[in-house]
Amino acid sequence: MTRTGDRHWVLVADDGSPISRTALGTVRALGAAGFRPVVTVAQGPTLASTSRWCAGTVRVPVDDPADWVEAVRAEARERAALVVVPASDSAVVDLDLPGAALVDKRVARARAEAAGLRVPEEIGFRDAEELHAAADGLPYPLVVKPALRFRADPFKTVLAASPADLAAVPTGQALLVQPHLDGPVTAFDGLVLGGRLVAALHQRYLRTWPRRAGGAAASVTIPPDNDLEEKVLQLVDGHEGIVEVELVGGRVVDVNPRAYGSIALATRCGVNLPALWCRSLLEGPPARVVRAEPGRRYRWLDGDLRSVVGDLRAGELGPGGALGAVRP
């Protein structure tokens, strides 16, 4: 990749999570392309801040969104940052970036339906108390998600096979319940600027972590789906930047208007989404959509090993299959 990013600062913003693969992958992608990424840190070093590609850090508070925003904006002004790349939902919302409404899963679902995309059945609850009151009448197995993820909230998804499993759902926020879907888990990952698709990658998840309800632990790129891309553009209308849309059995289950956990796969395929965003701001977008070739693989080693061990213990994978899965 041509190193066109020399001397340009780029701010990678999240909650300062110490183990964020999203921030790490984004910092690596920017640094490898010649940009100088600065990453937010909260209470100590992070995977991203200790990367050799990290050019600087900005300390941010953990629990005060207003002070977090001021710290990020002040750093961006001081360094004349080319762009702020959000690496968490709260960064998108707190900075009020284009696409912030999509962080609310209820909004994302409505917009997906309006764009002609399939979505799973869904039941909304005001809080965990209302969910528990209805627990005996729900169709199991199911997944429970927060309607809107809060800052530093570790709750993402709870997979429940029975009412007893709902004890893991925290209180104090609106919830969405969906059936646990069967079918291939796929994702569209891309860069959208000015209402047009600048870059695109399609991947199929081979394994996830957590098992059955998590992000990509191992995946492979697949051929593009042009119809899906057209509908995704309608879904994310008004958004500027990186976006990921996850699907199970062809149904939209998540929309991430930001950098995402398996972004390293795009970089490995020559579709360096953070760098393409920055380069497009400097030079204009490329004339054609930048695409990943099918058959390129991604592995989050720690998560993939956990997933394989879980499958092995559950009897869903034999020893031979497990060895084949972990083979480099």
pTM: 0.94
Residue of 192, 129, 206 whose CA lies nearest to 166: 129
Helix/strand/coil percent split, the chain, to 5: 35, 25, 40
- Burial status of residue 23 (CB atoms within 10 A of its CB: 0-12, 13-18, 19 or more): buried
Q: What was the pLDDT predicted at 153? A: 64
Residue of 103, 40, 27, 41 whose CA lies nearest to 264: 27
CA distance 6 to 32: 11
Rg (CA), the chain: 20
Residue of 192, 195, 291 whose CA lies nearest to 243: 192
Specify whether the CB–CB gap between 296 and 268 falls below 8 A. yes
- Look up residue 255 and give its DSSP letter: E
Specify whether the CB–CB gap between 147 and 197 falls below 8 A. no
Phi, psi of 55 (to 5 degrees): -100, -5
The DSSP-derived string for 256-317 is: ESS--TTHHHHHHTT--HHHHHHHHHHH---SS-EEPPTT-EEE-HHHHHHHHHHHHHTTSS
Neighbours of 170 (CB within 10 A): 15
Tell me if the domain spanning 9-94 has CATH number 3.40.50.20: yes
Q: What was the pLDDT predicted at 323? A: 85
- Kindly provide the residue ranges of all beta strands, DSSP E only, lying in the chain, ordered along the sequence: 9-13, 36-41, 56-59, 84-86, 123-125, 142-146, 158-160, 175-179, 185-193, 196-209, 215-221, 241-248, 251-256, 290-291, 297-299
Specify whether the CB–CB gap between 166 and 132 falls below 8 A. yes
- CA–centroid distance for 25 within its chain: 11
Specify whether the CB–CB gap between 221 and 292 falls below 8 A. yes
CA distance 42 to 94: 16
CA distance 240 to 277: 9
- Domain residue spans of the chain: 9-94, 100-114+183-326, 123-179
Tens of pLDDT along 201-232? 999 999 999 998 899 999 999 999 999 999 99
Is-cis flag, bond preceding 65, omega within 30?
no
Neighbours of 206 (CB within 10 A): 18
Which regions in the chain score pLDDT beneath 50? 1-5
3-state secondary structure of 327: coil
CA distance 152 to 88: 10
Q: What was the pLDDT predicted at 2? A: 38
CATH code for the structural domain at 100-114+183-326: 3.30.470.20
Specify whether the CB–CB gap between 269 and 293 falls below 8 A. yes
Q: What was the pLDDT predicted at 278? A: 98
CA distance 208 to 181: 14
Residue of 21, 54, 65, 59 whose CA lies nearest to 43: 59
